[in-house]
Chain A
Amino acid sequence: MGPVLRYVGRRLLLMIPMLVLISFLSFVIIQLPPGDYVDTYARNLASEGGSVNADQLAALRAQYGLDQPMLVQYLVWMKNILFHWDFGTSFAYNQPVSEILAERVPRTMLISLVSIALTWAIAVPVGIYSAVRKYSVGDYVVTFLSFVGLAVPGFLVALVLMLLVYDHTGFLITGLFSPPYREAPWSVDRVLDLLRNVWLPLVVLTVAGIGGIVRVLRASLLDELGKQYVVTARAKGLTEGQVLRRYPLRLAMNPLLSTIGWMLPATVGGEIVVSKVLNLPTTGPVLLESIQSQDMYLTGAIVLLLSALTIIGTVISDVALAVADPRIRYERSRAA
């Protein structure tokens, strides 16, 4: 395991300068559009009928530290993160950024992880079936459905399903909980209510993911099943199931393992569009809103978090690949 550990260590060390660069770039890019959060605030106030004069705007800018040059703002922000673990305060929510994320990230991750688990649990067997029973009726049905799942946008599925349910049962999904259970303490009824509401986002997120995995698995499995060692294995008397499980499936999983990497930031970023459509209190809508209103500390912190997770995720999937496939490990250490 020595070379693997060294490899992981090297990758994680490389992460630090990358994160610094990403954080600086994202901080700069967020502030590139002319104007700042105070402009957004003044515009919102104006559209509700209120007004602020120039002095009040200047006072707000001073309060938020927006009258400093950008480099100073960035250095202050970095200093607070590194020494105080303080990601700044969100202007829009008027709360520390870490509090907002602490509220939303666990929930987002839970929904994402459950939907990923469901996706894999359905897609892998279906993909295997599709490859093994190539060109059968079942294969065609599955292929058709996966193309539909890939083509139809998630938010459309969400909207249509939601309205179908409303039409037939009169029950409208307006969030993770129905009004009577929103702030109620946990109870059996509350869990049941959660299930009544959460099945829809899970279905939508799962459907979106199944198509891709089925197709990839089918293709790579078909690739492997055509190879000579499979013929040899059959000739040696292994059952079909054993032949499938012991060699081709492991190899066919490689492309899927390499996608685990970017799944990690996706679980935290959360599906933005579906979350907005279904009114889920996850990180997706928060990120969208904060970008639109130039709430720079919140946006910067989320981008930083997602970048770090992407890098970590890529390391994890590289390691997973190396562990699962000795050929990669062997090639790598040979090259090293």
Chain B
Amino acid sequence: MHRTPQITRRQFTLGSLAAFMLPLAGCSLSSEIPQDLPTYDESEKSARGFVEPPFLRERVKAGTLPPIDERLPEDCFVVGSGTLLQPRYATWRDGRYGGTIRNTPTSPTGNLNLATGSTILRSPSQTTDQSMPNVVSAFEPSPDMRTFAFTLRKGLRWSDGEKVTTEDVRFLVEDLYQHPDSNTPFPTDLFTQRDTRLAPATLRVIDELRFELEFAAPYGQFVAALHSWIPTVSMLFVPAHHLKRYHGDYADPAALQQELDAAGASSWGELMTMKNLPSWSSGEADALGLPVLNAWVLTEVKETTRVFERNPYFWHVDASGHQLPYADSVVNYLVVDDDALLRAVMDGQVTVAAGDNVTLNNMAVYTQSGEHADTRVFLTNSFNFPPLLFLNHDYRHDAPDDPWQQLVADPDARFGRALSLAIDPEAINRSVYFGLHGEPMLNSAEHDPEKARTLLDQVGMDQVDDKGYRLGPDGASFTFAITFPTIALDFAPVAELVRSQLEDVGLRVTIKGVDDGLFGQLVSDNAVMASIHWNDGAGWSTGISNDYMPNEKGAWSPETWAYVQSKGEQGRKPPPYVQEFYDIASRRTEHPPASPEGKAAYERLMEWLTGHYAFIPTTGLRVKPNVVKNGVANLPDAGAPFELDTILNLEGIWFER
């Protein structure tokens, strides 16, 4: 009898496993996604001299999108050399269409919020003095800096094709900010002098394209807010035609109820805050379908991906007739944490990694993986100050004879000065930052431990305990307690070095790193004596950032801030020397930061902050790496002043291959 060949179950299993593995061994699956650059004829121009982006040509041909001449306003914003970044920091070359910018952020928008945040006025980099009208076509402040007149661009449209008019401003101010049920209060920048105790702006609409804002007192710093990518254009412009369907006064009740049910909101105010998203949240699922004034529009939301496509109505163009952005799309692939982000950068999956996505500590990794990842690294300075040692002037303010209060309230600020003399910024620079940070700056420029010891003796800390640590001015044991949030890799080593430097002059120091959430709570409870944190110091002089206020970042006086904000109901009444700060800060807001008065006011502000030792820089000006794929043009040069410009100006980058 013929017997068919038998194989045992084991032979079958092993055999099929082997057969399965063979193709795995043989094939090479690439993990690079090639840039798919379209070919097109640059000389094919429209009547007005523009080149239609190949990405949109199909839709124009099919009639679903108007041709480029009709999409752009009468008067476009022309981007060229020196527009987005000063010529000495970047070389601008008009580019070509095509390509996808890839990011791997840890949150849906990541730092794309910077690139998708159009501003009302534009000045290169973080300056505010070479102002060009951006969303508006004309801007005129009154001489007393109380009234600001705006003219919109004729023909400017939202990303869905609807015209931008003053109705968008009126709806935002009257039907949202001023409406009691809208859950949308006035933003800080629209209050007179950024002071929430004073009156917010009053709106006067003149016609479809012109409007005026008036403030109760001179508020020259408003000019800086109009340039700032922090409040962005959403401060004054929202797509009224789109948002009215979520507004209780405008929407059809049945339709509104459907929207409420779909979103799970209990009031239209709640619904409005879910739908009216600023550019900070341009990657959130709710931003799908929201008309914007940004270079890219969110078009696809998946579990771990966000896809943005070019805005057909973006009004920035280059001198050769291209409509910006050059890159057709942006893809954000979400990763779980910074380590996964690092691996993505190492693998070449990120087109431009800058700002929060990179740290100097990983320089070795970026350089080493450069060849495999086809990337290069260049260094720029930073929008942020380096880690600073903050002193909380409100710590134990309720104990009248507390030694800490004695030390910080000293009119000669000897304790603060002693700390700054004891800190050795160059040693910290060498140990933690490869010596790449700048020269010692501000109030820690001088390093003299001997002088520090003399000053500590002078403030009454000349007695020591049995371990050799100085006793406090009250004769009891004194511990200088530094708390820091573990939000950056360099805080812990910097804290360690600061500790050893302060112990060198006889102080007993403890350091504690805590989770950022816990740090926030400790600050709210006024339980932090000193902390390590950074702030946007490099961006203060031009008014783009204002986080020198006492509750921000390291919080050098959170209780007096609470007092001021609550109009006296909570917190600590500012002692005269802190009240001086509030007065200087208010006075500063009266003038545009770029004006001579503004600059003088800024000098006074910095004098107060450094003279009273609100914070002490632990090292010189920060330097940050930027890791970018090869073949990308219009990036800043090495040594550019702000790493954030690398991302802010993504609309101008293009792919050479």
> What is A's interface to B at a CB cutoff of 8 Å?
33-35, 39-40, 43, 45-51, 53-56, 58-60, 62-63, 86, 89, 94-96, 103, 162, 166, 170-175, 178-183, 189, 192-193, 195-196, 275-277, 279-281, 285, 292-294
Given A34-B521, A39-B520, A171-B31, also A94-B286 (CB < 8 A): yes
Bound form: Cα–Cα A175–B344 in Å: 9
Q: Which of B187, B304, B487, B547 gathers the greatest number of chain A CB atoms within 10 Å?
A: B304
Task: Give the contacts of B623-655 with A (CB-CB under 8 A).
Answer: none
If the complex has contacts A39-B520, A103-B303, are A170 and B372 also in contact, measured as CB distance less than 8 A? yes
B343 touches A174 (CB 8 A): yes
Using known A-B contacts A43-B516, A56-B187, A96-B264, determine if residue A183 contacts B302 with beta carbons closer than 8 Å.
yes
Contact A193 B29 (CB under 8 A): yes
Q: A46-B553, A95-B285, A281-B303 are in contact. Are A172 and B343 (CB under 8 A)?
A: yes
- The answer to whether A178 and B31 touch across the interface, beta carbons within 8 angstroms, is yes
Q: Is there a chain A Cβ closer than 8 Å to B347's Cβ?
A: yes
In the complex, whether B466 has a CB less than 8 A from a CB of chain A is: no
The residue that B335 contacts in the complex, of A46, A53, A58, A174, with Cβ under 8 A, is A174
Taking the closest CB of chain B, its distance from the CB of A212, in whole angstroms, is 26
Known contacts being A34-B525, A89-B264, is A62 close to B333, with CB within 8 Å? no
User: Which residues of the partner chain B approach A56 to less than 8 Å between Cβ atoms?
Assistant: 185, 187
Tell me if B's interface is mostly helix, strand, loop or mixed.
Answer: loop
Question: Quick check: B337 and A292 within 8 Å, CB to CB?
Answer: no
B23 at the A/B interface (Cβ < 8 Å)?
A: yes
Q: Does B524 reach chain A (CB closer than 8 Å)?
A: yes
Our pick among A51, A174, A193, A294 for the contact of B517 (Cβ within 8 Å) is A294
Q: How far is the CB of B553 from chain A (nearest CB, A)?
A: 7
Q: How far is the CA of A143 from the CA of B135 in the complex (A)?
A: 71
- Option from B269, B280, B525 in Cβ contact (under 8 Å) with A48: B280
Q: How far is the CA of A311 from the CA of B383 in the complex (A)?
A: 53
Return 20 A-B CB contacts under 8 Å, by A number. A39-B521, A46-B553, A48-B113, A49-B536, A51-B188, A53-B185, A59-B183, A172-B343, A172-B346, A174-B343, A174-B344, A175-B304, A179-B31, A180-B32, A183-B302, A189-B29, A192-B24, A275-B336, A279-B337, A279-B343
Do A63 and B24 touch across chains, with their CB atoms under 8 A apart?
Answer: no
Q: How far is the CA of A280 from the CA of B339 in the complex (A)?
A: 13
Closest A residue to B29 by beta carbon equals A193
Are B340 and A59 within 8 A (Cβ)? no
Could you say which residues of chain A place their CB within 8 Å of the CB of B518?
A: 33
Residues 41-73 of B at the A interface (beta carbon under 8 Å): none
A62 contact set on B, CB distance < 8 A: 183, 269-270
Q: Which chain A residue lies CB-closest to B31?
A: A178
Query: Knowing A55-B186, A180-B30 touch, does A40 contact B517 (C-beta < 8 A)?
Result: yes
With an 8 A cutoff between CB atoms, is B364 at the interface? no
Q: Chain B nearest CB: distance from A51 CB in Å?
A: 6
Contact partner of B524 (CB less than 8 A), chosen from A34, A63, A166, is A34
Interface contact B230-A51, CB-CB below 8 Å: yes
Q: Provide the residues of chain B in CB contact with A166, threshold 8 Å.
A: 346
Please measure, in the bound complex, the distance between the C-alpha atom of A62 and the C-alpha atom of B184, giving whole angstroms.
11
Q: Report the minimal beta-carbon distance from A331 to chain B, rounded to whole angstroms.
A: 39
A60–B269 alpha-carbon span in the complex (Å): 10
- Whether a CB of chain A sits under 8 angstroms from the CB of B123 is no
- Residues of A near B184 (CB, < 8 A) are 59
* B185 / chain A contacts, CB cutoff of 8 Å: 53, 55-56, 58-59
Contact A46 B517 (CB under 8 A): no
> Once the chains bind, are A192 and B183 in contact (CB under 8 Å)?
no
- Closest B residue to A281 by beta carbon equals B304
State in angstroms the CA–CA spacing of A53 and B303 once bound together: 31
Provide the residues of chain B in CB contact with A178, threshold 8 Å: 29-31
Given the complex of chains A and B, what is the CA–CA distance between A55 and B273 in angstroms?
A: 13
Contact of A54 among B196, B346, B552 (CB under 8 A): B196
Q: Tell which of A54, A63, A189, A279 touches B269, judged by Cβ atoms closer than 8 Å.
A: A63
A171 to B270, CA, bound (A): 47
Known contacts A39-B524, A179-B333, then 19 further A-B pairs from the complex at CB < 8 Å, ordered by chain A residue? A33-B521, A34-B521, A40-B517, A43-B517, A48-B280, A55-B196, A96-B264, A174-B340, A178-B30, A179-B32, A180-B32, A180-B33, A182-B304, A182-B305, A192-B27, A193-B29, A196-B29, A280-B336, A281-B336
Smallest beta-carbon distance B344→chain A, Å: 5
Which residues on the A side are within 8 Å of B264 (C-beta)? 86, 89, 96
Cα of A34 to Cα of B343 in the assembled complex, Å? 35
- Give Cα A195 to B383, complex, Å: 43
Would A175 and B284 be within 8 Å (CB), given that A48-B356, A54-B196, A279-B340 are in contact? no
| Residues of chain A within 8 A of B302, CB atoms compared | 183
Tell me, rounded to whole Å, the shortest Cβ–Cβ distance linking A99 to chain B.
9
Residues of chain A contacted by B113 (CB below 8 angstroms): 48
Contacts of A183 in B (CB 8 A): 302, 305
A residues less than 8 Å from B183 (CB atoms): 59, 62-63
CA distance A181 to B183 in the complex (A): 42
- State in angstroms the CA–CA spacing of A174 and B369 once bound together: 15
**Residue from B340, B356, B521, B553 having most chain A Cβ neighbours under 10 A:** B340
List B contacts of A95 (CB < 8 A).
Answer: 285
Chain B residues near A285 (CB-CB < 8 A): 336-337
User: Which listed residue (A46, A53, A179, A180) contacts B552, Cβ 8 A?
Assistant: A46
Q: Interface 1/0s, chain B 175-193, versus A by CB < 8 A?
A: 0000000011111100000
The reply to whether the CB of B119 lies closer than 8 angstroms to some CB of chain A is no
- B540 → chain A closest CB, angstroms: 12
**Residues of B close to A181: CB separation below 8 A:** 29
The chain A residue sitting closest to B553, CB to CB, is: A46
For A293, what are the chain B residues with a Cβ–Cβ distance below 8 Å?
517
- Least CB distance, A298 to chain B, in whole angstroms: 14
* Least Cβ–Cβ distance between B288 and chain A, in angstroms: 11
Chain B, Cβ-Cβ closest to A34: B521
Q: Which residues of B contact A59 (CB under 8 A)?
A: 183-185, 269, 273
Q: Does B583 contact A (CB under 8 A)?
A: no
Report if B349 contacts A (CB, 8 A).
Answer: yes
- Quote the shortest CB–CB distance from B615 to chain A (angstroms): 16
Q: Which 5 A-B pairs have the closest CB atoms?
A: A55-B185, A178-B31, A279-B340, A172-B347, A59-B183
**Once the chains bind, are B343 and A94 in contact (CB under 8 Å)?**
no
* Chain A residues, Cβ within 8 Å of B565: 54
Q: A174-B343, A179-B349 given as contacts; is B303 within 8 A of A48 (CB)?
A: no
* A40: B residues at CB distance < 8 A: 517, 520
Residue of B nearest to A178 (CB): B31
Say whether B560 faces chain A, with CB atoms less than 8 Å apart: no
Q: B318-350: contact bitstring with A at CB < 8 Å (1 yes, 0 no)?
A: 000000000000000101110110011011010
Find B284's partner among A33, A63, A94 (CB 8 Å cutoff): A94
- The answer to whether B547 and A51 touch across the interface, beta carbons within 8 angstroms, is yes
B60 CB to nearest chain A CB (Å): 27
Residues in B with CB closer than 8 Å to A46 are 547, 552-553
* Residues in A whose Cβ lies below 8 Å from that of B566: 54
| Contact A192 to B29, CB < 8 A, known contacts A43-B516, A48-B280, A63-B183 | yes
B 532-576 binary contact with A (CB < 8 Å = 1; else 0) = 000010000000011100001100000000000110000000000
- In the assembled complex, which residues on chain A have CB atoms less than 8 Å from the CB atom of B280? 45, 48, 50
Q: Is the CB of A63 within 8 A of B270?
A: yes
Q: Is B515 an interface residue (CB 8 A)?
A: yes
Cα separation A63 to B183 with both chains bound (whole Å): 8
Q: How far is the CB of B206 from chain A (nearest CB, A)?
A: 28
Q: Which residues from chain A contact B305 at a C-beta distance below 8 Å?
A: 182-183
In whole angstroms, how far apart are the Cα atoms of A179 and B349 in the complex?
7
B111 at the interface (CB under 8 A from A): yes
A168 and B632 CA atoms in complex are apart in Å by: 29
What residues on A are CB-neighbors of B102 within 8 Å?
179
- Closest-by-CB residue of A relative to B340 is A279
CA distance A46 to B188 in the complex (A): 14
Residues of A within 8 A of B303 (CB): 103, 281
A interface footprint on B121-136 (CB within 8 Å = 1, 0 otherwise):
0000000000000000
Chain B residues within 8 Å of A58, by CB = 185
Closest Cβ of chain A to B75, distance in Å, is 31
Q: Which residue of B lies closest to A47 (CB)?
A: B487
